[in-house]
Amino acid sequence: MSALAELQQRLGYHFRDESLLRLALTHPSVAHENGVAGEHNQRLEFLGDSVLGVVLSQQLYEKFTDADEGLLTKSRAKLVNASSLSEHGRALGLGAHLILSRGEENTGGRERPSALADAFEALLGAIFLDGGFDAAREFTLREFSAKFGELGALPGIENPKGELQELLQSRSQNAPEYQLVSASGADHDRDFECAVLHDGVELARGRGKSKKAAESEAALAALEKLREKPAA
């Protein structure tokens, strides 16, 4: 079995036009090294990125019916960031099949995360051209099925204060303000309560073992309230 036939078996997709697969695996360094405008995988990468966005956007839209545009966008970004895509490329063994320049080969290009991520998107673009949208969608869902299975809820908010400020400043020029409402307990076991306000109106309160933690909880509570209620 040839190397490309083995790869296609691993992909679960067999190309009618194998030249598309070879193009998806051709790193731009090949053209640069030869000093000619040869074909490489960047155009297919562009196409694959768009196909990936459509497929995953539809899945998130259907799975999380109560989520707003902002949460869906952030969730999609977590699924398709460069680190995630390079992991997919590595798991498929794309590195061993990359067509590289001598210089890129000698500097570890086969394991370079950016090269693996680009090749994965280019591969998806090639499948789209070779087999159509349904084939590309099937491949994408197979690749991301484990991650979607883990998403019982949208990915958590990592920086509630930052996200609250971003949300509020999309509606108003004023940033949120935080006020300490109370602090109680012994020095080694303090309990803080903070309020978050915007334009003089209290949005929510939060509690925590530090002022920072209480502010974060207040921001998180405010985000939940604001996302339940559309902007005026």
Point out the catalytic residue in the list 45, 49, 163, 217.
Answer: 49
CA distances from 188 to 172, 184, 194 (A): 40, 11, 19
- 13: number of Cβ within 10 Å: 19
- Strand segments, DSSP code E, in the chain are 177-184, 191-198, 201-208
Query: Is position 121 annotated as part of the catalytic site?
Result: yes
Query: Is position 191 annotated as part of the catalytic site?
Result: no
Point out the catalytic residue in the list 121, 130, 143, 163.
Answer: 121
CA distances from 135 to 11, 65, 124, 140, 147 (A): 12, 26, 9, 9, 20
Residues 6+ apart with CB under 8 A from 109: 27, 29, 98, 100, 101, 115
CA distances from 113 to 11, 43, 124, 156, 175 (A): 19, 19, 17, 25, 38
Residues annotated as part of the active site: 49, 121
